Structure 1
Amino acid sequence: MLDLLVQEWPVPGLAYLVSVIGAYLGLSFAARARDATGFFRWQWLGLAAFTLGGVAVWSMHFIAMMGFSAPGTAIRYDTFLTVVSGITAIVVMGTALYLTLFDQSMARLLLSGPVAGLGVVSMHYMGMASMNIHGEMHHDLFWIATAAVIAIMASTTALWFASRLRGQIAIISASLLMGVAVSLMHYAGMVGVHVEATDSELQGAPEGAAAFDLMLPLIVGLFVFVLICSLFLLLGADDDRTPRATEQPTRPTTPNHPLPSSAWDRPMHRDDWPEASGGSKKPHR
Structure 2
Amino acid sequence: MIDHFNTGLLTPIGAYGVSVIGSFIGLMFARRLRTATGAARWWWPALSAICLGGTAIWSMHFIAMLGFQVHGTPVRYDAGLTMASGLLPIFVMAVALFLMSTKPNNTRLLISGVIAGSGIVSMHYIGMASMNMHGEMHHDPLFVALATVIALVAATVALWFSWRLRGTISILAAALVMGVAVSAMHYTGMLGVDVTLSERTADTLAGSTGIDLLLPLVVGLFVFLLVCSLLLMLGVEDRPHSGERGSHRRSIENHG
SS at match of 1:250: helix
| TM-score, normalised via structure 2 length | 0.91
Q: Which moved more, 1:194-203 or 1:104-113?
A: 194-203
Q: What SS does structure 2 have at the residue aligned with 1:36?
A: coil
Corresponding residue number in structure 2 for 1:118: 118
Q: Is the 8 A contact 2:5 2:11 kept in 1?
A: no
Which structure 2 residue ranges, 5 or more long, are not aligned?
A: none
Contact 1:143/1:192 (<8 A) preserved: yes
Aligned to 1:159: 159
Larger Cα Rg: Structure 1 or Structure 2? 1
Asked if 2 retains the 8 angstrom alpha-carbon contact of 1:109 and 1:159, the reply is yes
* 2:80 pairs with 1:80: yes
- Measure how far apart 1:104 and its partner are: 2.4
Deviation at 1:35, TM superposition (A): 1.2
Report how far residue 218 of structure 1 moved: 1.7
* Matching residue of 1:174: 174
Change (3 A) 1:119 1:219: closer
Secondary structure (helix, strand or coil) at the match of 1:234 reads helix
Tell whether 2:233 aligns with 1:229: no
2:212 partner letter:
D
Residue in 1 that maps onto 2:70: 70
Q: What's the counterpart of residue 256 of structure 1?
A: none
The aligned counterpart of 2:101 is: 101
Distance 2:174 2:200 in 1: 45
Identical-pair percentage: 52
Instruction: After TM superposition, list the pairs within 5 Å mapping 1:265-280 onto structure 2.
Output: none
Check the 8 A contact 1:72/1:198 in 2, yes or no: no
Counterpart position of 1:61? 61
Q: Which residue of 1 aligns with 2:147?
A: 147
Q: After superposition, give the CA deviation of every residue in 1:112-167 in whole Å (9 maximum; x if it has no partner).
A: 11111111000000000110111101111111100000000111111100111011
Deviates further, 118-127 or 240-249: 240-249
Q: Is the 8 A contact 1:40 1:240 kept in 2?
A: no
> What is the CA–CA distance in structure 2 between the aligned matches of 1:251 and 1:158, rounded to whole Å?
46
CA distance in 2, matches of 1:105, 1:250: 39
What is the identity, as a one-letter code, of the residue corresponding to 2:112?
S
Is the contact between residue 4 and residue 69 of structure 1 (CA under 8 Å) also seen in structure 2? yes
Mapped partners of 2:180, 2:88: distance in 1:
21
How much has 1:5 moved relative to structure 2?
2.5
7-16 vs 97-106, which moves further? 97-106
Segments of 5+ residues of structure 1 without an aligned counterpart are 253-285
Looking at secondary structure, tell me which structure has more helix per residue. 2
The one-letter amino acid of 1:125's match is Y
Pairwise CA RMSD: 2.1
Alignment of 1:32-71 (within 5 A): 32-71=32-71
SS of aligned partner of 1:73 = coil
Correspondence for 1:16: 16
Q: Distance in 2 between matches of 1:160 and 1:251?
A: 43
Compared CA separation, residues 110 and 75, structure 1 to 2 (3 A)? same
Q: Is the 8 A contact 2:35 2:238 kept in 1?
A: no
Q: Is the 8 A contact 1:101 1:162 kept in 2?
A: no
Give the match's secondary structure for 1:137: strand
Which segments of structure 1 move beyond 6 Å, counting only runs of 4 or more? 239-246
Supply the AA of the counterpart residue of 2:228.
Answer: C
Partner of 2:219: 220
Given residue 86 of structure 2, which amino acid in structure 1 is its aligned partner?
A: G
Quick one: distance in 2 between partners of 1:240 and 1:92? 28
Alignment length (residue pairs): 250
Structure 1 residue 29 displacement after superposition? 0.2
Output the CA distance in 2 between the equivalents of 1:155 and 1:251.
50
